[in-house]
Structure 1
């Protein structure tokens, strides 16, 4: 894993003029609920210094940068013997994903759909609870009638003796 991480750090240092301040490998994502067995990944702290010596991640971390990083890193890692999937550019990736407004609209739609499903589930639960309670009442009524019938039969048997 050291060679893998070193390659990524070297690449990022090359992209950011040797301004990677720290790199920490974590195993805390993609594992089990107890936090064990996660997927290794790097957290990099980088000084985002522009060519005119300003501190600006907004200037440096652009959509083009991210796309190029996703294209180039697999090539570099493959050349060093790592089994890495190639970057696949989908139509959504080409267009840069959703805008904040589109994302918010999508989330609102999903929220509405989930609320509708929840309402339907609550309605179904209440209907089932009503049916269950009706069955309990019916059972109690049948048991009462059976007792009455049993007493009636016993009474008639006593009288016929």
Structure 2
């Protein structure tokens, strides 16, 4: 029986050529990020690339490989990069030694290259300067018959098999890991979206605490004014004030379970 969350995590996101420069800057830590406040730049020197000793110019490398293998010139909006984000449950990943973490990423890279082609794998950047160690692997989506087509390579069937086969590969190399949540309706999150989801869960906890505090204030106020009935509008304002503080103009709904979620 698992003693802690031990989920293998692999997610894929598609990018056009206009996105590539931003991906490069993030992966290679070129400049200080204003949006990702979780990066600890004092630990950035611990990051490494399993495939490259020096930083790459992603766009020129991608264009060169496409020109070498693909006969038809890609459209301006073509997907030229499929990036995988690889990690595991934070409790599991952070419990591994540095040597075990590196092996985890090496075997993950091995799995990706065997499945999508070694020559089409551009980088495998491991980040140790964020809360949970993780790896970004860039693959140029070129088919076996030399077409640039992320749509054909990463169809629904392939994405389902990816989630099934990835943990199996790691299990074969002595990692006690299982696949994450199942369900075709689950959205595969990018690393930034995954971070935002975690931040939202923290905000939900703070929201619950603040609402509890407001309830206590309401009770105290009711006891202090036994002859007066508080207007229902006051109760709504109490909850709305807390929601507004945390979520701004975003609509917030409460499920029967008591968990607050952003409304679609």
TM-score, length-scaled by structure 2: 0.31
Q: If each structure's strand is expressed as a fraction of its own residues, which one has the higher value?
A: 2
Larger Rg: 1
Larger proportion of helix: 1
Q: Which has the higher contact order (CA 8 A, sep 6+)?
A: 2
